Amino acid sequence: MKVRQESYGLTKKGEEATLYTIDNGKGMRVSFTNYGANIVSLEAPDAHGNMADLVLGYDKLAGYEDNGPGFGSFIGRHANRIGGAKFELNGVTYELEKNDGNNNLHGGFIGYNKFIYDTELYQEEEITSIEFTRLSPHMEQGFPGNLNISIKYSITLDNQLIIEYHAVSDQDTIINLTNHSYFNLAGHNSGSVLDHKLWIKANAFTPTTDDLIPTGEIRDVTGTPMDFRNFKPIGQDIDADYEPLHQGGGYDHNYVLDIIPGEIDKVAELIDEKSGRRMEVFTDKPGMQLYTANMLDPVEHCKGGVPYGRRSGVCFETQYYPNSCNIPTFPSCVLRAGEHYNYTTVYKFSN
């Protein structure tokens, strides 16, 4: 495999950012930056060998410094929403930033996608990895504990992107790391993903209040527009007269994955029949937020000058359930001091 390293410019603070590109020589090429540990591009062939970049994003570093939609982003300390922007741990109430109405979203105004990371490259015969590491200090974003975090991206010869999350805290804390890439298997500049066909291994989802905070209910998807247990186009039911879809403006919901805890399993598959590309998602996390870019206004200054519009990408954010820190019946996102947070998510591409 080939690895290319080049300058990605200076941040507004004057920090040097670097762009790393891994080419597996088998038709997959992925670029990352140490600014935010973000995925910048992901190229893969279609059924005829034609290459396209399959993730939404920006050409220049400045785009990632703003990046309201979170294109390609490493998300933490806590992905998704925390109701009321607060939680209680060990009898102490922690107040967080209210950056989503009255709630906390993706950690706060300055997420993990807005820092420079230390970088290590690991090259083997059949896999090449890039690992980004950083210390998130005690009370950063309002969360307790000095948290040593690492995110390792690995590219394999069979066109897999493997994401391994690892963290250790010196105090009890909460943690929920994910990646927020927007995928479009027809190419980042090809418009709507509503004709992509999707399958999700989930018998239930977590309904929410109007501001998208889970109520604590686990609802069966049977007979609802939320059911993706058989392949169907994303757009088939997205505008159905169903309260959760009205609340999210489309799909913006956590699915309760039907997997064995602790085991990495296939949980979703996305197909673009026109290009022949498909993407399989594997994880050992208990939930996955399906987000169909419902809130994307036309975003300017994107790759190649293409303005991204509503529903021009789809996210598969593997995670703990949203607001699990405030709902005792949900799988817990509490990380005890000295314990290891280890999770893996895999995106596998084929045609």
- Distance of alpha carbon 92 from alpha carbon 106, whole angstroms: 21
Q: What is the pTM of this model?
A: 0.98
Split at pLDDT 50, 70, 90, the class of 299 is confident
Q: What is the pLDDT of residues 175-213, one digit of tens each?
A: 999 999 999 999 999 999 999 999 999 999 999 999 999
Among 180, 188, 196, 253, the active-site one is 180
Token digits for 5?
């390293």
- Distance of alpha carbon 217 from alpha carbon 206, whole angstroms: 6
Q: Where are the domains of the chain?
A: 2-350
CATH of 2-350, one of 2.40.30.20, 3.40.640.10, 2.70.98.10, 3.30.365.10: 2.70.98.10
Q: What share of the chain is helix, strand, coil (3-state, %, to 5)?
A: 10, 45, 50
Chain CA centroid to CA 11, Å: 23
Residues whose CB falls within 8 Å of the CB of residue 124, separated by 6 or more in sequence, listed in order: none
- Distance of alpha carbon 148 from alpha carbon 250, whole angstroms: 36
DSSP string, 253-288: EEEEE---TT--EEEEEEEETTTTEEEEEEESSSEE
Q: What is the pLDDT of residues 19-28, one digit of tens each?
A: 999 999 999 9
Q: What is the pLDDT of residues 214-242, one digit of tens each?
A: 999 999 999 999 999 999 999 999 999 99
253 is catalytic: no
317 is catalytic: yes
Query: What are the distances in angstroms from CA 89 to CA 10, 94, 102, 112, 169?
Result: 39, 8, 20, 22, 14
